[in-house]
Amino acid sequence: MYEIGADGANSAVRNAMGVQYVSWKYDHTGVVATLQLAEESENTTAWQRFLPTGPIALLPLNSKQSSLVWSTSPEHAKELLNLPEERFVDALNDALWKQYPRSKGIDACTAWVGSILHRLGLPDGAQRQLPPSICEITPNSRAAFPLAFGHSTKYIAPGVVLIGDAAHRVHPLAGQGVNLGFGDIKDLTELLTDALYSGLDITHSDWMQKYETTRQRHNVPTQLCVDALYRLYAYNIPPFVLARSIGLQITNALHPVKKLLMSHATT
């Protein structure tokens, strides 16, 4: 039988395995909460905005609720946690809706790219989805945790297999942490099911090695891409802002590319 290590980023199971764990810290803290939306809607789309202090994201839960992940400085995170709930909601809506100064030069460049895309019959990025308004938060749902990158060089050992945050950790800006964990569970379950239906020994090292190889080939590139995105959005100097603005504009216009990225992100 195998023990499954699913005990989070500070995994005792992983530590007991004695495997190498590559990690580094981001100078950010993630503030999380469960939010009540002001208006009921289908609420099937994740929403994210990049602020000067870090990204803020809303992940849909149901027609009236979303989950918040607000990446910000440790000092600001502490302030947010200490705010009364009503003032926290005000700060959250301000972060979602506030209009920041924009560079006329960058706007001109993105408008020019948009005009080319429009002439090609592609989405030009002119239409922007507005964020939802938040009316309240679920009591006692606020929490905070330090953000970091982490990856175990081995997911398996004799009698042990790691999944989820015990095996890997990413910045939450792309919402990939939970997807990677779900992918681990899916692939491990499928491999064990295949072994059972084939009448083979599920504890054989070949099955676990296949799980490790399959998941690391998917997880490591995803983690590095998320880390690169974090670093790209950490700088607000014009060349970086222009590069990421045009990059997202073109990616959104090219449906096959967007579909490929979405497919990779959800497996």
* 169 located within any domain: yes
CATH number at residue 168: 3.50.50.60
Confidence of residue 264 (pLDDT cuts 50, 70, 90): low
* 140 located within any domain: yes
Confidence of residue 156 (pLDDT cuts 50, 70, 90): very high
CATH number at residue 79: 3.30.9.10
pLDDT of residue 259: 64
Domain that holds residue 181: 1-20+153-234
As for how many domains the chain has, the answer is 2
Residues 143 and 43 in one domain: yes
Residues 133 and 82 in one domain: yes
**37 pairs with which residues across the strands?**
134
What is the C-alpha separation between 55 and 180, in angstroms, rounded?
20
Q: What is the pTM of this model?
A: 0.81
In contact, 216 and 188? CB cutoff 8 Å: no
In contact, 138 and 89? CB cutoff 8 Å: no
* 89 located within any domain: yes
Distances in whole angstroms, Cα of residue 150 to Cα of each of 31, 103, 147? 19, 35, 10
Q: What is the mean pLDDT of the chain?
A: 87
